[in-house]
Amino acid sequence: MGNKKILVTGGTGFIGSHTVVELQQHGYDVVIIDNLSNSTIEVLDNIAKITGIVPVFEQFDLADADRTTDFLHRHSDISGIIHFAAFKAVGESMEKPLHYYRNNVQSLINLLEGMKNNGITNLVFSSSCTVYGQPDELPVTEKAPIKPAWSPYGNTKQMCEDILKFTTMAHPIHAIALRYFNPIGAHHTSLIGELPLGVPNNLVPFITQTAIGQRSCLSVFGNDYNTPDGTAVRDYIHVVDIAKAHVVAVERMLNGKCKLDLEIFNLGTGIGYSVMDVINAFEKVSGEKLNYKIVPRRPGDVEMVWADTRFANEELGWKAEKNVDEMMLAAWNWEKALAAKKI
């Protein structure tokens, strides 16, 4: 009996590549689909440097229904799918809503169609805490009301969760949606990490690129929020903790432990950190003084959000292990490794 095969869409991306490493190290055979729109093919070699196994890879766009159907027909022995492939920049989605709806929603529909037609029954979906908007109560639980989306990006995650709800009711498919809070950091080998193409949208790569000298100054988007130090609060979580949760979710499905057609879990640490907390943690672990300035708020940003993690801790048996200092040190080591390669 060979190893079980898992398809990872978006597997050369930030969270995808860390999840491929964990899957391989847990004995799964991994196949990756990626269109390389926001990642590079070198990631495959770097994954292999960590695990000794080069993942099977096919490059195409999941928004292409024919290519997706053909792939799933050829790989109908897949035991499960983890679907990361999506555009995920909140700000960019405000400028290109149709780009986001077509890519993020059509890709999921094509995958589900192919699963239904080829008897593939298990899907883990990459969702996001952005579905909550600004919660009325904190920490936010999976039962919190889904509020009107603040961006097309967040709206595509809400739509995809609804598509999963009704599709898993109608067809023999189980799905687990994992709502990520703010994934940051990198693998301890510094062989894989967050590699934003172009100017980073996210806070942590902008911090490390400023400290390494690639950016001149970090802009802190607002210090007039109703928070302890005025800067916005998020639940930052190490990307490897996120990756480990995906292996737990896959095994829950393969072992027939799902209790609902669609299960939803928050993936956070349960701790909220402000932008200044993150900057202070970075300066502490790196010994670098960060150049930053306070500028007006960024449109679309919520003020404060952090996870109630009890359901994932108790039902999945998973708990985030790494603290913000470890996350920021891993992110800094990764940035230094990138700079060393450029020399």
Say how many residues touch ligand WQD, by CB under 6 A.
20
Selected binder of ligand WQD within 75, 88, 238, 246 (CB under 6 A): 88
Q: What is the DSSP letter of 320?
A: -
Give me the least distance between CB of 340 and ligand WQD, in Å please.
Answer: 24
Confirm whether 28 is a catalytic residue.
Answer: no
Question: What is the distance, to the nearest Å, from the Cα of residue 60 to the centroid of all Cα atoms in its chain?
Answer: 20
Set 28, 100, 132, 153: catalytic member: 153
Backbone angles phi, psi at 34, to 5 degrees: -150, 145
Sequence-separated (6 or more) residues with CB below 8 Å from residue 145:
136
In 52-120, at which residue ranges do the beta strands (DSSP E only) sit? 56-58, 80-83
- Using the rule CB under 6 A, is 180 a contact of ligand WQD? yes
Selected binder of ligand WQD within 96, 116, 165, 298 (CB under 6 A): 298
User: Which of 22-30, 212-220, 238-246, 247-255 is the region at the interface with ligand WQD (rule: CB under 6 A)?
Assistant: 212-220
Binding mask 13-52 for ligand WQD (x = CB under 6 A): ----------------------------------------
DSSP for 135-196, written as a single string: -SSSSBPTTSPPPPPSSHHHHHHHHHHHHHHHHHHHSS-EEEEEEE-EEE---TTSSS----
Q: How far apart are CA 283 and CA 329, in angstroms?
A: 10
Q: What is the DSSP letter of 304?
A: B
- Using the rule CB under 6 A, is 214 a contact of ligand WQD? no
- Using the rule CB under 6 A, is 206 a contact of ligand WQD? yes
Binding site for ligand WQD (CB under 6 A): 88, 90, 128-130, 180, 182, 201-203, 206, 218-221, 232, 234, 275, 298, 301
Active site residues: 153
